[in-house]
Chains A and B, each alone.
Chain A
């Protein structure tokens, strides 16, 4: 099979891929191709018919499809080649991208590849939730797609496990469609979604949220008939004797998102056990030459606005890489100190201003995010009020405070 040369191949036409493509074009890179497996671009935004997107980026509240449309229109204006109905089935370390469509099998040889495949939902099987296996157990995103894209109602009496944002949004959505959402149960002692969703999707609809609770039994041979819910101790183990039965025909799981990095693995990209995305430097460059990563495939974001902004920064680096053929080395590693769950990037050059995105590993109140190099606190960024693992935190580190040598540590100081 012949390989078609391309400057940049972007895998995934969701918010990250589209934003990256537009930015590349604005920076003068012409030979770009976006490969999208769906019939239309837009990624997960297509099924997010609620509003609240774009507040940071556009200063207004848009629905998912509206937010996506901004980028689709931009891509259209810029004449970006976006191949839909095209599934990438492999990426080689030499940046050979093999894609399948109804037109056949195509191989592209790219000077740079941007991985923008997004993430998938954690499933019942991955969590090993015990019990029977009737119909009526759905992940939140699947339920959302069934309702919003396929016009099918997944159930009437609903229990939700996990207080992830999509789970809370589905609590509201199903209530609006006439379902009885009985409760949301969260195994952690704190919510895993954003405060605004707790208010707008649960409190406003009188849906109770139980923290430190989990589902310990699933009942029904055919369709779900109910779940057993138990309180958990501080180590997240169910406490015997606290079981309560909830009759329901539907269980919705909103129990975490996993960056979808199977293609990245095949391309020889090193992954970070914390983010489950690629290990990248400040140029969003992975360990594999010429392969970059952006959006939820790199680390799961809280807001799509940050996905777009990050993808544009990735595109800026890729444009520089295409123009100059290389990027400066990044040898300073960033490690997660106390209270920090993960960071992106994981490596920096020390020769540029950088912005570090991170998640705290547990809730904090009135604390500071500190960046430490060579035993010295070089940045201390105070945070008023609550900082939750649900939100992505960003810290700017100016080049002026960075020493040319010495790894960095990011931690929470209270």
Chain B
């Protein structure tokens, strides 16, 4: 519909340039009409590409890796687009995890997982500063009790040292009590370099920084087909338009296998490992200064407890292979087992402190025996030239996102010269959080902008100013959860009982979205059926 068949098109254009203008006008009008009627994002203006643009690189998936790739590529003179099927970044694996910046001791030496994790960990202070995101190098404990555990921890330490992890040490019971009072264990490995980050804000910040440096984001654009053209470029199809690009980056996370196949690279078996979590009230955050894990097995870190940078405690994850990569429901049985299992590590888990639960699914590349494989970062010059294929990017993908992105840039740079942009700006500013400021700064903020004096979210003390900034976010995200992840409104103990009506109204007022078009999270997740009275 967007374009007539090439041959006729060009003939037509050559013969009658005026008519083609009329024709363009006609299709644009149709597309505007369609946008108005069918926009699943609830009426927010779309940046649908009508094949007018030729991209240098199209990135499929805006999880943390896709966003990091966009950000790292935006250092160069390239026209970059990011296609994302959800209405926001980090809707899947990148936003559904423990939020831990891993040390890198749990992966076999020489693997990309080990290499990228250690690299990402070391630079995380700078990353957090550049992107203005909350990050705390809390350190982490792996707690054991038996002789078997001790053997296993010693092995982990050895692996960690080979991988380049700094400062790993075995500590005794009394040190455990000093570091994390109440934790149950006879001894532990302490990893001082481990830390915690807000995974939503990390991904959002990477994407915003990429946007700021010219990358374009297309939400609600699920890739349905990829065609390699005669000139070696790709046509990427989505239900909302086709895109032409010289390079494709597959950072589709759970969809990496499907996209690989679309690119002509068959054979990757992706297993989804689902993990469930509980979130505890902030009251409990003060009792847990750092993540506490059991002794890890080969590929699974075990059910642990970890503080979040925002002061909650999360408990999880369990691990179970699932066929359905879209079911994020948390079963009752799993919640009970999580609490029971984690209570053996940290005895303060009470049902009265539950505020929410969630789950995430890790895309693991497994061989025919089911053995989990390393990250894949490749260009198959034979099967799919000009496509960087990322497969099996699971944990520690959050920690490793920027190192992975740099490897993507390198692979492209080895195949064509990349010209650095002089005006690339690596720093991105986040929304100033009123609740975290000292009194003088709070007063100053209100004086400068009285919207900072209007507290909308009671539990998390989020102000109107912050919510308005989030609604006007650089990526154009307009869902309720989009505003939630950017500000923490609705994330507290009342779960939006007090503020969600205000937030919904603010989004509608700011963006002119009618009631029935406002989305909660995904396409078609409409919050209202309409107005009560016209």
B343 at the interface (CB under 8 A from A): no
A124 in contact with B495 (CB, 8 Å): yes
B500 in contact with A142 (CB, 8 Å): yes
Q: Which of A11-47 contact B (CB under 8 A)?
A: 37
Residues of chain A within 8 A of B439, CB atoms compared: 1, 98, 105
Question: Bound state CA distance, A105 and B463, in angstroms?
Answer: 13
- Residue with the greatest number of chain B CB neighbours at <10 A, chosen from A142, A155, A218: A142
Chain B contact-residue range equals: 35 or more
Residues of chain B within 8 A of A62, CB atoms compared: none
Question: Bound state CA distance, A309 and B475, in angstroms?
Answer: 52
B523 at the interface (CB under 8 A from A): yes
> With A150-B505, A151-B531, A151-B533 known to touch, is A141 a contact of B328 (CB < 8 Å)?
no
Q: Quick one: which of A100, A120, A151, A265 contacts B453, CB cutoff 8 A?
A: A100
Question: Bound state CA distance, A102 and B447, in angstroms?
Answer: 8
B523 in contact with A222 (CB, 8 Å): yes
| Binary CB contact string for chain A from 95 to 120 against chain B (1 if under 8 A, 0 otherwise) | 00010111111000000000000001
Residues of chain A within 8 A of B501, CB atoms compared: 142, 145-146, 149-150
**CB closest residue in chain B, given A224:** B525
A134 in contact with B494 (CB, 8 Å): no
B498 in contact with A152 (CB, 8 Å): no
Minimum C-beta distance from A219 to chain B (A): 8
Minimum C-beta distance from B276 to chain A (A): 10
Question: Bound state CA distance, A30 and B513, in angstroms?
Answer: 47
Minimum C-beta distance from A177 to chain B (A): 6
Binds A, one of B18-26, B64-72, B454-462: B454-462
Minimum C-beta distance from A90 to chain B (A): 10
Question: Bound state CA distance, A177 and B528, in angstroms?
Answer: 14
| Binary CB contact string for chain B from 477 to 502 against chain A (1 if under 8 A, 0 otherwise) | 00000000000000001111110110
Minimum C-beta distance from B434 to chain A (A): 8
B332 in contact with A105 (CB, 8 Å): no
Residues of chain B within 8 A of A177, CB atoms compared: 532
| Binary CB contact string for chain A from 48 to 78 against chain B (1 if under 8 A, 0 otherwise) | 0000000000000000000000000000000
Minimum C-beta distance from A162 to chain B (A): 14
A355 at the interface (CB under 8 A from B): no
**CB closest residue in chain B, given A149:** B501
Q: Quick one: which of B446, B494, B530 contacts A121, CB cutoff 8 A?
A: B494
> With A120-B497, A125-B495, A152-B515 known to touch, is A101 a contact of B453 (CB < 8 Å)?
yes
Residues of chain B within 8 A of A155, CB atoms compared: 529
Question: Bound state CA distance, A234 and B185, in angstroms?
Answer: 38
B504 in contact with A150 (CB, 8 Å): yes
A131 in contact with B329 (CB, 8 Å): yes
A135 in contact with B335 (CB, 8 Å): no
Q: Which of B439-473 contact A (CB under 8 A)?
A: 439, 442-443, 446-447, 450-451, 453-455, 458-459, 461, 463
Q: Quick one: which of A125, A130, A151 contacts B356, CB cutoff 8 A?
A: A125
A289 at the interface (CB under 8 A from B): no
A130 in contact with B331 (CB, 8 Å): yes
B129 at the interface (CB under 8 A from A): no
Q: Quick one: which of A98, A104, A126, A130 contacts B446, CB cutoff 8 A?
A: A104
Residues of chain B within 8 A of A120, CB atoms compared: 493-494, 497-498
Question: Bound state CA distance, A265 and B526, in angstroms?
Answer: 37
B126 at the interface (CB under 8 A from A): no
A123 in contact with B494 (CB, 8 Å): yes
**CB closest residue in chain A, given B276:** A130
B357 at the interface (CB under 8 A from A): yes
B497 in contact with A142 (CB, 8 Å): yes
**CB closest residue in chain B, given A145:** B501
**CB closest residue in chain A, given B521:** A135
> With A125-B279, A128-B357, A139-B497 known to touch, is A104 a contact of B453 (CB < 8 Å)?
yes
A102 in contact with B446 (CB, 8 Å): yes
> With A87-B455, A125-B357, A223-B526 known to touch, is A147 a contact of B443 (CB < 8 Å)?
no
Q: Which of B301-358 contact A (CB under 8 A)?
A: 326-332, 335, 351-352, 354-358
Minimum C-beta distance from A268 to chain B (A): 15
Minimum C-beta distance from A138 to chain B (A): 9
| 12 more CB-based (< 8 A) A-B contacts, given A100-B442, A121-B494, A141-B497 | A1-B439, A1-B443, A101-B454, A102-B446, A102-B453, A104-B453, A120-B498, A124-B495, A125-B279, A125-B356, A128-B332, A223-B524
Residues of A participating in the B interface, judged by any CB pair closer than 8 Å: 1, 37, 85, 87, 89, 98, 100-105, 120-121, 123-126, 128, 130-136, 139, 141-142, 145-147, 149-156, 177, 216-218, 221-223, 249, 262, 265
10 chain-A/chain-B pairs, Cβ below 8 angstroms: A85-B454, A101-B453, A104-B443, A105-B442, A120-B497, A142-B500, A152-B532, A154-B528, A221-B525, A262-B493
Q: Nearest 4 pairs between A and B by C-beta?
A: A135-B520, A125-B356, A87-B455, A102-B450
